[in-house]
Amino acid sequence: MVQDESAPGLIFITGGARSGKSRYAQELALQLSNNPIYLATARHWDDNFEKRIQRHQAERDERWMSIEEEKNISGLSLSGRVVVMDCVTLWLTNFFTDTKYDVEASLNLCKAEIDQLDTTNNTFIIISNELGMGMHADTEIGRKFTDLQGWMNQYIAQKADKVIFMVSGLPLVIKGRIPRAHEGQQ
């Protein structure tokens, strides 16, 4: 049986910092929908972070609906929509700090949220970072977070219909197929 490439489901896009993940996810979302949702998980930590948020907002035009939700993504009313969740790293940070750096509690809470996403009626394009491919964290909390991120990435990738690894702005398909609109554009 051939799966409909535009069918609802879960697309996981991962890679290093500045690898083109967000740009690629947004282009994909616009090919799948005329009015996608951008689900921002960032917490407004400080002025510098606020500037990053504003830069991301400026990259999207009027076709986008933006929703800010720091943690409870599964409770949003999104029926029939294409949703770009940007990003797992910031989302995990919110759980990790709120649980006072408890890796197991954070992982369990995040897995429960992912398990409750309605991928039968919605297309979720979830963006994440591959922290373990970078420098080794020099603090215990940093190492714990890197482990948490790696385990959560594995969990989402296992559940995903498609997994795309971004390298230098180019998509490398790890699992599934890139939707037809992207074929031949690698």
Q: Quote the pLDDT of residue 164.
A: 96
Q: Residue range 140-167: average pLDDT? A: 96
User: What is the set of domains in the chain, with CATH numbers?
Assistant: 13-175 (3.40.50.300)
Q: Residue 9 and residue 132: Cα distance in Å, rounded? A: 26
Which 3 state secondary structure label does DSSP give 152?
A: helix
Average pLDDT across the chain, whole number = 87
Q: For residue 43, give both structure tokens.
A: 């917490």
The residues annotated as belonging to the active site are 56
CA 128 to chain centre: 5
Label residue 2 by pLDDT band (50, 70, 90): very low
Which pLDDT does position 179 carry in this prediction?
Answer: 56
Q: Is the pLDDT confidence value at 3 over 60?
A: no
User: In the predicted model, is pLDDT for residue 49 greater than 80?
Assistant: no
3 vs 123, which has greater pLDDT?
123
Residue 71 has pLDDT above 90, yes or no: yes
For residue 125, what are the β-bridge partners?
Answer: 11, 84
Per this entry, what is the length of the chain? 186
- Whether pLDDT at 93 is above 80: yes
pLDDT over 70 at 9, yes or no: yes
Tokens linked to 134 = 């970078």
Residue 45 has pLDDT above 50, yes or no: yes
**116 or 138, which is more confident:** 116
Percent of the chain with pLDDT over 70: 88
* Long-range interactions of 53-62: CB distance < 8 A, separation 24+: 56/22, 56/86, 59/22, 59/23, 59/26, 60/26
